[in-house]
Every structure is written in C-alpha cells, then in structure tokens.
Amino acid sequence: MNPSGDAIATIHCEMAAKLNFACHQSAFAFLRELRIENNSTERLEDVRVTLSSNPAFLKEKSWTLDRIAPEGIRPITNRDIELDGAFLLELTDSLSGHAKITVEQNGAIIADHTTPVELLAYNEWGGAGYMPELLAAFSMPNDPAVDRILRDANLILRQAGKPDGIDGYKSGSRQRVWEITSAIYAAICNLGVTYAVPPASFERDGQKIRLPGRIISNKVATCLDTTMLFASVLEQAGLNPIIALPQEHAVAGVWLQPEELSTIVVDEAEILRKRIQLNELLLFETTLVTQSPAPPFSKAVKAAADFITPEKDDTFNSAIDIRRARAHRITPLGIQPDEASEAGTEVRVELKLEEAPVLPDFDEGLEEDDLPETPDDRLERWQRKLLDLSARNPLLNHRSTKSSLRLICPEPGQLEDKLADGARISIQSVPQPTSQVQDEELHFQRTGEVITQEYAREALEKKQVLVDLTPTELSRRAVSIYRKAQTALQEGGANTLYLGLGFLLWKRDEKDNRRFRAPLILVPVTLTRESVRSGVRMLAHDDEPRFNTTLLEMLRKDFRIDIRGFDNALPEDLSGVDVNGVWDKVRKAVKDAPGFEVVEDVVLGHFSFAKYLMWKDLVDRTEALRSSTIVKHLGRVNTNTSICGILQSSRL
C-alpha cells in the first residue's frame, strides 16, 4: 500500500516478496491484491493501470477502468500475471528487482507505487515464511541420480535375502514399506556424502538446494539437501514422502501406508506425532547418512523423534506433504544439464539392510476384548463376528478406493428426491480438480474452470452430479464399479451398490486418535451406460433405501447410543427419504460423544448386508438355538462358517 498524500488516486496492492522458477510452474499468485482508490470528489474515467518490472521478470500487464466513483475504491480481480519462466530458469544467483504499478488518466500519471522483489536462483527455495508449499518442487523423482540410488537399494534388499522389487505400497504391508525405506537409507549412506552447514534460519528464510545429481557428483549436502534427496527417491519408489521443518533443521518422512496430510502444509508437530504413534508415518534424520560409519536406520528414526517432542512445539515450523502438493499441481523442477549426475557404475554395499520391526499390515482392524467362555458370551461372540464391529467393515470404516466415487453434491436430499422420482442422474467430471490450489481465484482466471457450490447446484438441476476425476479415470472407475456390482448380483443374488448419503465420523475412545467414517443412509442404485460417449448414469434400484443397521448395532453395543426408528423404513418427506431429518436425529444422538460428527459427504460404493442378515437371523432365533441339541454338542464355536452351519442345521 502506498501513502499518496494529496494524490488523486491511491494504489492498494500486495505482491509476493520472493519469486523463483517454481513459482512460474505453479499457480503461485505474484499479485495478491490490487485496488485503486479515488481520493477526489469527482468521478475518474478512462483510467489505465499498468504493472511492469525491472528486470523484466514478468510480462507487462495493463488494465483499463471505465470509471471509479468519487471517493470509491475499484478492485482489480484479474490478477493473472505471466512470469518470464526463461528468465527465472537461467538465474544462478539471486538478485534484487522491483515491480512498479502506475495509474494514468489522459496520459498523465496520477499515482504510482514500487515494490521490491527478491528474484531467487533456479535451485533456491524461498523458505517456509514465504513459500512453504513450493519446497515440493525440489523433490526430483525423475533425476537420473535417483535411479542409481534405487538400483543400489535393490541390490541391498537382494543381498539381505529380501524381495528386491521397489514396488511402493503394493505389498499392503507397513513392514515392507519400512524395509524399502531402510534399503534406500543404506544406499544413500553408501554414497559417501559429507555434511555441509546450512545458513542460519534456512527453514524460515530459504536456501539454495543441491539437487540429486549435484549431491552425487560433489558428495556434499546440508540437512535440507539430504532431506529433499530422500523425498525424491521415495517418490520415485512409489511412496508418499513428507518434509518436516523443525527449528533450523529438516527431516524426511514417509507414509507407511498410502495416506497423505489433509493439506499441503501443516504447522503443528502434534499431527505428525499422532500418526507416528499409530505406525502410519515414519520420520527419520537424514544427516546421519553423512556419518562414517553410518548408524542403522532405526537410529535415524529415533533421532528424528527428538525434533518433534511436545516441548518443541513452539519452535516447529511446518511439514509439507509431497503427494498432496502434486495434487495441487506443484510439479518437480526441470533438470538442467549442469545439474545432471556424472555418477559412475560402481556399486558399494557397506551399510547392510536392517531388519524391519514388526508392524501391522495396512488398515489394521480394531482389536476386540476377549470375552469369557460362557454359553451366553459365546453366543455374543458369534453375533459380533457375524456383524463385524471392527474397523475392517466398510459399513463402519469406509475408505476411498478405486471401487467408489465421491460425488460433489451440495444438496444430497435433492439428489435422493430425484432418484426417488425415477430420474436418471448423469455422473460427470468437473472441469478441474477440486483440490485447493495455491490461489483458486488465480487458477480460475487462467483456466475459466472452478468448482463452486453454485456450479454443483446448477449441475444437479440438470440431473448431473460431479466427480473430481478426469473423464478417462471416471469411465475406468465406473466400469470397474459396474462390473463388481454385476458380479455380486450374479454370485450372491443381492445388490451391493449403494449411494451413501452422509457419514458419521467416530472414534473408539477419546484416547484413540483414529477417526472412522461410517455411511448413514444407503440408497440402492444401479449404473447404466448406453454407449461409450453417452457417459454413466445412475438410477434407483428396486430395493428400498435403508439406514446403516450395522452402525446402529455398533452404537448400541459399544457406546450405549440407541437411535430408534431407523431399523426398518426410514422417515420420508414429499419425494423420498427425509435425508436432513435423519441426519439431524443422528446429530442429536451423538452430540455428547467426543469425536463423533456427522458430515454431509456423498459416496457411491459397494456395501454388503449379507452378514447383517445372518446376524439378525441369529438374534431372532436365539432361544431356538439355545434349545438345539446341535448347539449343545458343538462346544466352543468361533468361526463364521460354524455359525452358518448352526443356522442351516436349526432349520432342518
């Protein structure tokens, strides 16, 4: 903002203090705000506003304002500024520049304002204080040096008698992810890199970053250099890395199962601690690779934990999730010729692979307390096994997979009404991903595409729902969902495809940091596609909508929360299920339960009630089973197969 005194106009503006090549690659807003204020009591007409720079790191841009009301302020919403990518790419050292805004009327300048801008080198990051999310651009999975490290990790795994495939999360085992990361750690240790002291406060103000090829060639690296090297290799290995920035330091991390942070950047170390305690996230100290001899990987893991203790929360800067950043279109820097590695072909295996600790597989279920072995308790155990009240049950813990679609629907009740009236709802891709980019308004100015609640409402009026997928991915996933539904119908004789309206977020107890998602209203649907070009349409199935009865029983048995009126037919409004009424009743029932919350998400996915029907049969026929001679002779029974046998035998 500039103080213009008695000037006719005042310029109110905010610009980025730093720019680098990564800004050019991403939807990074250089011009954050621009408003022109008319200080006079007369209307200003035909006003021309111009933005220029010196040196020319951006393309000059002008705006013409027809009029500005007396003593009024005119905002300029078109802030799409074209940076000179070639200029920023060629910068080997930072230099000072400035951007200038001038306001003219009839050829005369009536206001001007100059803002200094620091132009960073191609391989220079501006720090967490200016551009934390752009650190992800310095993760370079396609650098040739990364493949050399993965080759060495492959050899280390093979020599340890382990499977040598670097296959990301395909194993379904957190222990295997730990093993792959440990092999990568050993491979980087064996490079013989030495430590370089970083500049003071680099995590806040930024520094130049040595890219993978340069590290291998020169054998020198700071903590941020080694951390970004690990991020590059882990990303190329198909894993999801994160970067944590405690005070004056940097450590690397990797998700032990395919997850990510809720945003690109978080500034609370507590979030990382909770995930580490759940064996979902692994942080490790990267500078230990510069020691000789290098300590084992487990020591690096323990060392990293010291940087995010509760006592150091006040000094923690931020953590950046690389996979989330990629979803926000923050792409890796291009590789310049002078950054390419000249690594030789020699492979030295000095640090051996460390055995991974015992870790659970992905999506560990909740453990049930052992029940006493009385006849009534055995019956209770049978019932619980049939109902499956663990987190393995999608009816209690739904996860987004390729066999489900999350719909963008601001009016779920209206969607259900249309389905109840027999409408065929078309499923369409949105023009651009709904994930928040660096500047959503700027992205809209560049592409003309943005996902808003109003746009989704208009689509629903046209009997359309939106999905945050490309048309190709939507078509592929829809076909997969359709085939799975047809297979279930042919093999089991029951429809398993439902539209989940609303979800209950819940947790087992206050000490458990995990929150699960259980669908509330389940509307049976089918998918149709008349041709490849016609797209996918959704229509109501012949079965009736139902509430998630498994959730009802879990709430009754485990939390003493009894929600009545949903076991059979759901309450209706004029055109079908009273969706909002059902949600409100659930909200009232769980309002005093810590960690419980209703969210209005809409998901198309597969849910099976087969075990619930068997459970209900077992409950309804309890007295008959107790008097059955077959049950008396079975003794201990603790498998679903045996339960099925009981039910079948009792009908004879």
Q: Are 327 and 178 part of one and the same domain?
A: yes
Q: Are 454 and 549 part of one and the same domain?
A: yes
Q: Are 163 and 212 part of one and the same domain?
A: yes
Query: What does the pLDDT read at residue 387?
Result: 58
Assigned domain for 293 exists: yes
Assigned domain for 26 exists: yes
Distance, in Å, from the CA atom of 52 to the CA atom of 98, rounded to the nearest integer, reads: 9
Q: Are 107 and 146 part of one and the same domain?
A: no
Assigned domain for 541 exists: yes
- For the chain, how many residues are written? 652
Q: Are 110 and 132 part of one and the same domain?
A: no
Assigned domain for 633 exists: no
Q: Are 419 and 604 in contact (CB under 8 A)?
A: no
Assigned domain for 613 exists: no
pTM above 0.85?
A: no
CATH of the domain at 107: 2.60.40.10
Query: What does the pLDDT read at residue 290?
Result: 92
- Picking from 119, 147, 178, the residue at the C-terminal end of a domain is 119
Assigned domain for 41 exists: yes
Q: Are 109 and 203 part of one and the same domain?
A: no
How many independent structural domains does the chain possess?
Answer: 3
Q: Are 102 and 204 part of one and the same domain?
A: no
Query: What does the pLDDT read at residue 508?
Result: 83
Q: Are 33 and 65 in contact (CB under 8 A)?
A: no
Q: Are 471 and 603 part of one and the same domain?
A: yes
**What sign does the dihedral 209-214-215-220 (CA atoms) show?**
negative
Query: What does the pLDDT read at residue 431?
Result: 57
Q: Are 101 and 169 part of one and the same domain?
A: no
Distance, in Å, from the CA atom of 474 to the CA atom of 467, rounded to the nearest integer, reads: 8
- Picking from 339, 364, 382, the residue at the C-terminal end of a domain is 339
**What sign does the dihedral 346-349-350-351 (CA atoms) show?**
positive
Mean pLDDT, consecutive 10-residue stretches, the chain (652 aa), reads 65 93 87 93 93 95 93 91 92 94 92 95 89 93 94 94 91 94 96 89 85 93 96 97 94 94 86 82 95 90 88 90 91 71 50 84 50 51 58 84 88 93 89 48 41 74 89 87 82 83 87 85 88 77 89 88 86 89 88 82 84 55 62 51 48 42
Assigned domain for 591 exists: yes
**What sign does the dihedral 187-191-192-198 (CA atoms) show?**
negative
Q: Are 439 and 424 part of one and the same domain?
A: yes
Q: Are 551 and 432 part of one and the same domain?
A: yes
Q: Tell me phi and psi for residue 70, to 5 degrees.
A: -55, 130
Q: Are 114 and 216 part of one and the same domain?
A: no
- Picking from 83, 104, 119, the residue at the C-terminal end of a domain is 119
Assigned domain for 371 exists: no
- State which residues form the domain around 319: 124-339
